[in-house]
Amino acid sequence: MMFQDREQAGRLLADKLERLRAERPVVLGLTRGGVPVAFEVARALDAPLDVVVVRKIGAPGSPEYAIGAVAEGGAVFVRREALRELGLGEEDVAELAEREAIELARRVQRYRGDRPPAELQGRTAIVVDDGVATGATARAAARAARQRGAARVLLAAPVVAAASVAELRADFDEVIAVALPDPFYAVGAWYERFEQVSDEQVLKSLRRARGEPAEGEVGELWNGEWTGPAGAADPPAPEAEILAIPFDGPPSGPGVLEGELVIPESARGLVLFIHGSGSTRRSPRNQLVARALRRAGLATLLFDLLTPAEAAEDEVTTELRFDIELLTGRVVAATRFISALPRVRGLRLGYFGASTGAAAALAAAAALPELVAAVVSRGGRPDLTPVALLEQVRAPVLLVVGSRDDTVLRLNRSVLLHLHAAELTVVPGASHLFEEPGALESVARLAARWFDRRFSAPAALWPRPLA
């Protein structure tokens, strides 16, 4: 199930929680993303809304990987299996939690000011988030609610990873969700629109829940409730443009590849997605990362490397998906075609390659040093790119591999010395397909930062052809 946005997801979640109205619950929105969802739940249940401020504790050197979380009031949850995997002890966790305490205190002051927290003594507390992957932050929030005297603590979210439910029940009396997918991938995969929630949006939700207008806002009252500015709406998401990308070459001669181009307003660059063996532009993993990059202000092009007829043949022979020379030619053709479009002109270009697609991406980057400004490889096979071509790649390369993907990790390490400017980032707890909750979300964030930094670099630092 795909939710339109947090508000629609909150309304669907509220329907699941209607039976709890008689308990007169208190709704606690997990900051920040859970607050817009919690607002809809609180409004439907006619319940008070408060926030519970939680900060993820990230692993040293890999802050995207949550080893636990700390909540206001000092409640801490730690993922013991993560500590074992990383070789961390209690002292390490305490030091990391202390670093988060400064931002935690700032947010508590920002959201609550001098107002006391909602009274939970003897009450039912519903902790609401926009989605739950590993549940580290949610479990810290549950412990904070119990410290404040809640008699029952429930977790409610539009989407919860099915694999996490059993562990979540150790801290919650009940787990309620609209969808329980498996595999999960990431929270953002289940939303059409999943922009970052700002402090201002959190404050606006809290003011609306108290029946107050936001500062400087002119709005309406409806049945005694503040509804915000009349006619206010978020801008529509950019639409995908379907492209026919021409190519000329073996095995079938001239032809066209199908692609989807999406250009957000004020895009800072364009990322071409190069899928792996046996996949297509509709790969759910690449689609998830593409949505994340668009939310970060980057345009995306997802396209098929094979024609429909070739893909049907390859299902039987599996030969074309490993033909790196053929795939490279297709990537080069797509790059030249897209870079010539007037609406794309001026945008820096990058590649996001997966599996065997990463090998083709690197070879294409070697062939087009004047066009390709950055490359990201997810679980890629750069070892399939000829060494002579690896040594000609001038664009900065980020190799992202899961810590449990032993063979591919070894192969990625083996090519580092052949690349002009490359970094290897290992995502803790992730396997080859990054199917673990939150793993692919980490990849998306790493990629967004990599492209943003390279696309924002001064022109003098653009990649240059070898002399």
Taking alpha carbons only, the member of 163, 127, 139, 113 closest to residue 57 is 139
Mean pLDDT of the region 97-125: 90
Mean pLDDT of the region 87-114: 87
pLDDT at 369: 96
Which residues, listed in sequence order, are joined to residue 348 by a DSSP beta bridge?
269
- Residue 382 and residue 353 in contact, taking contact as beta carbons nearer than 8 Å: no
Confidence band (pLDDT; 50, 70, 90) for 254?
confident
pLDDT at 223: 33
pLDDT at 185: 82
pLDDT at 220: 39
pLDDT at 252: 67
3-state secondary structure 99-137: HHHHHHHHHHHHHHCCCCCCCCCCCEEEEECCCECCCHH
As a whole number of angstroms, the distance between CA 28 and CA 183 comes to 27
Q: Is the pLDDT of residue 132 over 70?
A: yes
pLDDT at 213: 61
Q: Is the pLDDT of residue 290 over 90?
A: yes
Higher pLDDT: 406 or 74? It is 406
pLDDT at 234: 45
Alpha carbon dihedral 452, 456, 457, 459, in 10-degree steps, equals 140
Higher pLDDT: 172 or 310? It is 172
pLDDT at 221: 36
Mean of per-residue pLDDT scores for the chain: 88
pLDDT at 206: 93
- Residue 46 and residue 225 in contact, taking contact as beta carbons nearer than 8 Å: no
Q: Is the pLDDT of residue 460 over 90?
A: no
pLDDT at 222: 31
Q: CATH 3.40.50.1820 residue ranges in the chain? A: 241-461
Q: Is the pLDDT of residue 464 over 90?
A: no
Confidence band (pLDDT; 50, 70, 90) for 236?
low
Mean pLDDT of the region 90-108: 87
Least reliable range by pLDDT among 141-150, 233-242, 324-333, 443-452: 233-242
CATH of region 6-212? 3.40.50.2020
User: pTM for this structure?
Assistant: 0.74
Q: Is the pLDDT of residue 81 over 90?
A: no
Mean pLDDT of the region 53-59: 89
pLDDT at 230: 34
Q: Is the pLDDT of residue 392 over 50?
A: yes
CATH of region 241-461? 3.40.50.1820
Least reliable range by pLDDT among 68-72, 231-235, 268-272: 231-235
As a whole number of angstroms, the distance between CA 329 and CA 376 comes to 19
Structure tokens at 463: 């990649």
Q: Is 183 exposed, middle or buried (0-12, 13-18, 19+ CB in 10 A)?
A: middle
Map residue 18 onto helix, strand or coil.
Answer: helix
Structure tokens at 414: 């083996």
Which residues, listed in sequence order, are joined to residue 68 by a DSSP beta bridge?
57, 78
What do you get for the CA distance between the two ends of the chain, in Å? 52
Q: Is 274 exposed, middle or buried (0-12, 13-18, 19+ CB in 10 A)?
A: buried
- Residue 299 and residue 243 in contact, taking contact as beta carbons nearer than 8 Å: no
Confidence band (pLDDT; 50, 70, 90) for 467?
very low
Give pLDDT tens digits for 158-184.
Answer: 999 999 999 999 999 999 999 999 888
Cis peptide preceding 32, ω within 30 of 0: yes
Confidence band (pLDDT; 50, 70, 90) for 38?
very high
Map residue 27 onto helix, strand or coil.
Answer: strand
pLDDT at 388: 96
Q: CATH 3.40.50.2020 residue ranges in the chain? A: 6-212
Mean pLDDT of the region 281-304: 92
Confidence band (pLDDT; 50, 70, 90) for 216?
very low
Count the helix, strand and coil residues of the chain and give each as a percent rounded to the nearest 5: 40, 25, 35
As a whole number of angstroms, the distance between CA 424 and CA 407 comes to 14
pLDDT at 4: 92
Mean pLDDT of the region 134-160: 95
Mean pLDDT of the region 403-415: 96
pLDDT > 90 in the chain, percent: 61
pLDDT at 458: 65
